[in-house]
A and B are shown apart, each in its own frame.
Chain A
């Protein structure tokens, strides 16, 4: 063995050690809860608007507030789910009105950015980083179905009109098969981002991905170890080190919302007893409101997605009670894939898939949540 080889190896070991990004303390960036009396406005407020429909089908919306207070909403739309013409559509909403909408990302554009074939696009997840840049993770498929998909991360300096610095997130050792995203990111105190993701190939489970501002993956761990088919985690931090996650159920024998929790800032997750809320293998969204309560939007049915209802917890997810019903349609209808955001003035934004034809945005306050749900929403109030 030559001394040159030994020295070369030593240089490699030292260089690799120096370039490793050590994880800092895992602490969620949690805004202190405001007393309920301060967040309640005098009147219950509720409004809904339908976003433009440039494509025959639309699904899986995601939202993020820009620093100017406008709300950007992204979803995927095309002739049908999985088609080659599916693109990421975006709309900008401000002061309760749609100001603009555009096609934000096509398969061809993502192919050019990532230098690999892209057959179709899927769920987008938007967030704004600490520098005010719009970031997006988007699911793409090169070959096969959704279980063969991967996640791409992109950045935009012009509010989602064009994308740059795209790269593929490599999250699996076996050909990077089958990693997807659906729900919103969670900000960490050190400026890193927690991204709830999930795996679909053969078995389904949630994963917790932590990335720095440059998009470098620092951690990717399973969110639970218990048996069962759970996916699409939605995470809400309840303190600097504690968070709860609710998960879509793909279990035929246990069609209820799954639950996982962490007490160490997301470094380890433990599966908890599922919630007593039915889930028809449909996406769930969760948010921690300004008053500290947790709010879930889900389809509380064993089969079908024709009812979209809210559930609220005032004790960090230990107990949940039914709240307002957002949509109640005929059997076969679909009001699914909800996504939450809350503005600085406390107004709650909820976007969701409306009959697979479009995206509907509801805006309401906590006072509206507190009022009785005595009047059921009209059946499929066609826009």
Chain B
């Protein structure tokens, strides 16, 4: 079995373990053991038990492919110890990522490239410019102390994984991001902006209430 297949199959088991932990936390089970048996057993089952001749992990790979290295490490940290996760990205980071990464990556697939004329994904085959951009952004963020060491380590792990060819893809973007990660970041951006507007609306409403209250 190739290293690509091992990575892809293990990643599917991890996704299932993460989903179980997430659902259980939603229902109030906050004190789950660090990657305990209740997570190991379903994750292993996904890897081993075949359905129609293929493991469940093989079905999941066929459905949504393999997650990026960044997502893999985030899921691994969340599943083993949620407190080890990097700090939640700032709203400005989420907005910048959505506008300058998610949209240029995905809009060309919907033939909306005239709106965004750059096919960002094509830069990932010869990633010289991505590496230069990463070096500049990370250097600036480190100098301004706007990034935690956990995020820096995460990017470094993804770059080293790319250099050894851990994933099937030859495109650097697939090591850094994936649709699940970018949709989550976009959701955080939308939720952050919505909360700002909701705050303003509440303030305006409360002012109105106060004014109305003064009249009465």
Contact = CB atoms under 8 A, between A and B. Distances in A.
Interface of A: 1-2, 5-6, 8-9, 11-13, 15-23, 108, 111, 114-118, 142-143, 167-168, 170, 172-177, 199, 201-203, 205, 216-222, 225, 227
A2 B149 contact: yes
Interface of B: 1-2, 4-5, 8-9, 52-54, 58-59, 61-65, 105-106, 108-111, 113, 119, 121-122, 125-128, 131, 134-135, 138, 142, 145, 147, 149, 152-153, 155-160, 162-165, 167-174, 179
B162 A173 contact: no
A8, A118, A218 — most chain B CB neighbours (10 Å): A8
Contacts of A143: 62-63
Contact of A13 (B58, B145, B159): B159
B61 A115 contact: yes
Contacts of A22: 126
Interface centre among A13, A116, A201 (most CB of B within 10 A): A116
Contacts of B53: 108, 111
A327 B4 CA distance: 46
Contacts of B126: 20-23, 218-219
Contacts of A205: 111
Nearest to A177: B109
A115 B125 contact: no
Nearest to B160: A12
B9 A5 contact: no
Contact of A1 (B9, B59, B152, B159): B152
Given A12-B155, A13-B134, A16-B127, A115 B1 contact: yes
A216 to B, nearest CB: 5
A116 B156 contact: no
A5 B166 CA distance: 21
21 contacts: A2-B149, A5-B156, A12-B155, A15-B160, A16-B131, A16-B159, A16-B163, A16-B172, A19-B165, A22-B126, A116-B61, A170-B167, A172-B109, A173-B105, A173-B121, A174-B109, A174-B179, A199-B109, A221-B122, A222-B119, A227-B111
A116 to B, nearest CB: 4
